[in-house]
Amino acid sequence: MALITSAAGSAQSSRSQPAPKKGANFKAAQALAKQKALEKRAKTYKLPLGELALFTQQIASLLTAGLPLVQCLEALQDQTEDPCFRIVIRDVRGEISQGNSFSTAVKRFPNSFNNLFTSMVEAGEASGGLAEILAKVAGYFESTVKLTKKVKSAMTYPIAVIGLAVALVNVLLIFVIPVFASMFKDFGAKLPAPTQFLIDLSNFMKAWWWAIGLGSYATYWLGGKYVATPKGRRTKDLFLVKAPIFGNLIHKIALSRFCRTYATLIRSGVPILRTLEIVSAASGKVQIEEACDEIAKHVSQGGQVSEVLAANTFFPPMMKHMVKAGESTGNVDGMMNKVADFYDVECEATVSALTSLIEPMLIVFLGVVVGGIVMAMFLPIFQLGAVAGGLQ
C-alpha cells in the first residue's frame, strides 16, 4: 500500500512539474538558424569601402596606442554594428590567436579585405610598422570614398530628373493622350503631323507595352553579358573614357586612383611587380591593366616606368614628366602622390562644373519634352479655333 501511495505521489509530482515551453525552444532554434545564416553569409560578405576605411583607421589608432593586435580586434568586434562583419572580425581574431599572421587571416575573406589592404598588411608585418602603414591605407581609402561620394551626389540630380521625365512622358502617352485622341476623332478632320505621331505612339505603347518592357530587359541582360566578356569590357572602358561630358571626369578619376595606389604601395615597401599587380586589379580599367602589364615586363628587363608611360596615350604628358623627374631624384612615390593630388582637385572642379551645367540643361530638356507634347496635343484645338474664328 505504501508503495502504491509513493508511486502515485511521484506520478502526481511529475505531472505538476512545468513542461518545457515551446515558445522558448522555437526562439532558440530561430536564433540558431539566424546565426548560422550570418556565418554563412560572412564567408562571402563584401565590406563597403567606407566601412573598411573606418576599420583600418581604428585598428591603426589602437595599434599606435600600444594595444596588442588580438585585443584591438576584440575591441572592434564588440563595437561594430554590422553582424556579418562582427563574425569576420571574430574569425580573424581566432586565426591570429592560433598563431597565424594577420595577413594570412584576412586572406580568408577576400571580399571583405581587398588586395590592397592585404598587401599593405603583409608589408607592415615585414617592416614592423603595421600601425603606420595601416594609417596610410586608411587615408587612401578615405580619399577614395570622399571622391566617390562627390561623383555620386553630382549624378543623383540628373538621374532623378531623367527618371521623372520618363515617368511623366509615359503617363501622358498611356493615360492622357488617348482622351484627346477620342475627342479629336469626333472632329473628322485631318490632324497635324505632330499630333498624329503622338497618337500613333500612344496606341503603340498601349498595345505593345509588354514587348517594350521585355525588349528593354533583354537588351539590358544581353548588354551585361557582352560587357562581361573581354571584348565587351574593352569597348565599355574605351567608350566611357571618350564619352562626352563625363568622359573627362572618368579619365581623371582613373589616373588619380592609379597614381595614389601606386604611391601608397611603393612607399610602404611593397615590391614593384606586386605593386603593379595590385594597381592593375584595383584600377577597373582595361587601359590601366594593359599599361601595368607593359610596365611589369619593361621593369623586369631593367627599364623605367616613365618610358612605358611616355609611349601610352592614355597617360597625359604632365604625368609622364612628373614620373620621370621622380625617377631621376629617387622620389617616384612622392611625385605620384602630387599627381594624384592634382587630379583629385581637377575631379572636384569638374564635378562642380558639371553640376552647375547639367541642372539648367536638364530643366530645358524637361521643358522641351513635356511642353512639346502639350503643344502637339493642343495644336488641333488651336486650329479649330482659328477656323471657327474665320467663319464668324
pLDDT score, position 384: 67
Q: Do residues 237 and 254 both lie within one domain? A: no
Is 6's pLDDT higher than 70?
no
Assess whether 229 and 201 both reside in one domain: yes
Q: What is the pLDDT of residue 158?
A: 82
Number of domains within the chain: 3
Q: Using CA atoms, how far apart are residues 73 and 69, in angstroms rounded to an integer? A: 6
Report d(CA 337, CA 264) in Å as an integer: 8
| DSSP conformational letter for 174 | I
- 230/93 same-domain check: no
Q: Which domain holds residue 95?
A: 41-113
In a domain, 73, yes or no: yes
pLDDT computed for residue 387 by the predictor: 43
Same domain? For 182 and 258 the reply is: no
Cell readout for 235 is: 569597348
- 365 within a domain of the structure (yes/no): yes
**Residue for cell digits 596615350?**
313
- The answer to the question of residue 24 being in a domain is no
- Please tell me the predicted confidence (pLDDT) of residue 246: 83
Query: If pLDDT is split at 50, 70 and 90, which confidence band does 26 have?
Result: low
Residue 24: which pLDDT band, with cuts at 50, 70 and 90? low
Contact status, residue 312 vs residue 302, Cβ threshold 8 Å: no
Residues 291 and 202 in one domain: no
Contacts 24+ apart (CB under 8 A), 161-164: 161/362, 161/363, 161/365, 161/366, 162/362, 164/366
Half-sphere exposure in the Cβ direction for 374 (13 Å, CA) = 7
Quote the cell numbers at residue 150: 562627390
Segment 186-242, tens digit of pLDDT: 766 678 888 888 888 888 888 888 888 899 899 999 999 999 898 999 999 999 888
Q: Are 258 and 287 in contact (CB under 8 A)?
A: no
Separation CA 90–CA 164 (nearest Å): 45
Note whether 237 and 371 are same-domain residues.
Answer: yes
C-alpha cell at 322: 612628373
Q: Are 371 and 165 in contact (CB under 8 A)?
A: no
Which letter does DSSP use for residue 172 in this model? I
Any domain includes 367:
yes
- The mean pLDDT value for 140-147 works out to 87
Q: Is residue 36 part of a domain?
A: no
Query: How sure is the predictor about 177, in pLDDT bands with cuts at 50, 70 and 90?
Result: confident
Query: At a CB cut-off of 8 Å and minimum separation 6, what does 300 contact?
Result: 273
Cα torsion angle, 148, 154, 160, 162, sign: negative
Lookup: cell for 138 = 586608411
Burial of 33 (0-12, 13-18, 19+ CB in 10 A): exposed
Residue 121's H or E segment, with its range, is: helix 115-127
Chain centroid to Cα 38, Å, comes to 23
Q: Are residues 252 and 338 in the same domain?
A: yes
Taking residues 264-270, what's their average pLDDT? 86
CATH code of the domain containing 87: 1.20.81.30
Look at residue 16 and tell me whether its pLDDT is greater than 60. Answer: no
Are 58 and 67 spatial neighbours (Cβ–Cβ below 8 Å)?
A: no
DSSP three-state, residue 13: helix
Handedness of CA 360, 363, 369, 371 (dihedral sign): negative
For residue range 322-353, what is the model confidence (pLDDT) as tens digits?
999 998 888 888 999 899 989 988 888 888 88
In this structure, the answer to whether residues 365 and 340 fall within a common structural domain is no
What's this model's pTM, rounded to 2 decimal places? 0.76
Q: What pLDDT band is residue 185 in, cutting at 50, 70 and 90?
A: confident
- DSSP per-residue string spanning 277-296: HHHHHHH--HHHHHHHHHHH
* Distance between CA atoms of residues 276 and 263, nearest Å: 11
The contacts of residue 241 (CB under 8 Å, 6+ apart) are: 247, 250, 251, 254, 285, 287, 314
